[in-house]
Amino acid sequence: MILIENISKSYGDIKSLTGINAAIGSGSIYGLIGSNGSGKSTLLRIMSGIMRPDSGKVGYDGKLVYENPEVKDTVVYLSDEQYFLSNSTPDEMARLYGSLYSSFSFERYNELLKLFGLDGGRKISTFSKGMKKQTAILLGLSCNPKYLLCDETFDGLDPVMRLLVKRILAEEVATKGLTPVIASHNLREIEDICDHIGLLHEGGILFESEIDTLKSEIHTVQGVFGEDKRAGDIFGDFHVVSENKRGALMTVVVRGERDKIEDAAKAAEPKYFEIIPLTLEEIFISEMEERGYDYSKVVF
């Protein structure tokens, strides 16, 4: 388990993180999303132990990560900006990683190198952006970490490679108990693979939740209920997040249990209605609106 307790970090007068608290269970795929400049990358650097927070602490399985080589041996951080030794090849970087991580597997490295279709003897400086990202990912996975911290992991990968990386991560979670933490501004990518999610905004986590729980708690109802009917008349026992009416068609976002919302809609004797599942993007827009934030600043 990763336990993040009261983490704060400032850069001069700029507050990047303020009192961050989170618990990430082992074997979970945790998505960390947020607005630009919300502190996602800073939090990952602190979680990896390469940056010291102004206050608070991060622990893995009860042991603090900062200045603790034993814990760092189980944690791999994949930065959004990959760094490789000058004029190095993937094979040379593999030998470097092998000297740093006790669980590094050259067998696994060669398997992944073949799977990604990369040349281990070619200079990385000649690789495309996507190939460099693939190299960083396969080197990280070859370390056989317990915890993998990913900053914009899928950025720069083509659709086929994105699917491949997702499949590999899912297999590592299922077979080895890997715990990935994936920071991204792309909710659609997060929705495909993560089971838990945290929304980071203006230096704090607004909330954490299982994705399935989020989707079961809020719904869009669309229907024709009559010209004189308002959302409050039909769904007064629930929390109406938003209401929109165009002609006879009413669209309402309602928070509550699906079965009870459906019963309330039927009781209004509509000419037509349906309950439409919300995407994760729509859910987070609703969450941001409810909290008074300008969701237009969140990049999806």
Q: Give 146's pLDDT tier (boundaries 50, 70, 90).
A: very high
Report the CATH number of the 2-202 domain.
Answer: 3.40.50.300
Domain boundaries, the chain: 2-202, 214-297
Please tell me the distance from the alpha carbon of residue 190 to that of residue 183, in angstroms, as a whole number.
Answer: 8
Q: What is the mean pLDDT of residues 250-255?
A: 92
CA distances from 58 to 33, 34, 66, 177, 291 (A): 19, 20, 8, 20, 27
Q: For 220-237, b where at least 16 C-beta lie within 10 A, e where not — what string?
A: bbbbebeeebebeebbee
Q: What digits encode the pLDDT tens for the residues 6-16?
A: 999 999 888 89
- Average pLDDT of the residues of the chain: 90
User: Do 2-202 and 214-297 share a fold?
Assistant: no
Write down the pLDDT at residue 150.
95
More confident residue, 254 or 297: 254
Q: What digits encode the pLDDT tens for the residues 173-221?
A: 999 999 999 998 778 888 888 999 888 877 777 778 888 887 888 899 9
How many CB atoms sit inside 10 A of residue 44's CB? 22
C-beta of residue 207 within 8 angstroms of C-beta of residue 259: no
| Three-state secondary-structure class, residue 134 | helix
Q: What digits encode the pLDDT tens for the residues 76-122?
A: 999 988 899 999 999 999 999 999 999 999 999 999 999 999 999 99
Residue 73 one-letter amino acid: D
Torsion sign, CA atoms 155, 100, 43, 179: positive
Which DSSP symbol is given to 199?
E
Q: Which helix (H) or strand (E) holds 115?
A: helix 106-116
Q: Which helix (H) or strand (E) holds 129?
A: helix 129-142
Q: Is the pLDDT of residue 223 over 90?
A: yes
Please tell me the distance from the alpha carbon of residue 171 to that of residue 178, in angstroms, as a whole number.
Answer: 9
CA distances from 233 to 238, 243, 246, 286 (A): 11, 12, 17, 21
Q: What is the mean pLDDT of residues 156-184?
A: 93
Please tell me the distance from the alpha carbon of residue 67 to that of residue 129, in angstroms, as a whole number.
Answer: 32
Q: Give 163's pLDDT tier (boundaries 50, 70, 90).
A: very high
φ/ψ of residue 173, rounded to 5: -65, -45
For the ranges 19-23, 59-63, 236-240, 295-299, which has the lowest average pLDDT?
Answer: 295-299
Which DSSP symbol is given to 78?
E
Q: Give the pTM.
A: 0.83
Q: What digits encode the pLDDT tens for the residues 22-57?
A: 999 998 999 998 777 778 999 999 999 999 999 999
Write down the pLDDT at residue 298.
47
Domain 214-297, second-level architecture? 2-Layer Sandwich (3.30)
Q: For 105-117, b where at least 16 C-beta lie within 10 A, e where not — what string?
A: beeebeebbeebe
Please tell me the distance from the alpha carbon of residue 157 to that of residue 165, in angstroms, as a whole number.
Answer: 9
Write down the pLDDT at residue 220.
92
Residue 113 one-letter amino acid: L
Write down the pLDDT at residue 291.
63
Q: What is the mean pLDDT of residues 169-175?
A: 94
Sheet strands side by side (includes 14-24): 14-24, 2-11, 55-60, 63-64
Q: Give 300's pLDDT tier (boundaries 50, 70, 90).
A: very low
C-beta of residue 242 within 8 angstroms of C-beta of residue 298: no
Contacts (Cβ under 8 Å, ≥6 apart) of 67: 49
Q: What digits encode the pLDDT tens for the residues 257-298?
A: 999 999 999 999 999 999 988 888 777 777 666 666 655 544
Write down the pLDDT at residue 299.
47
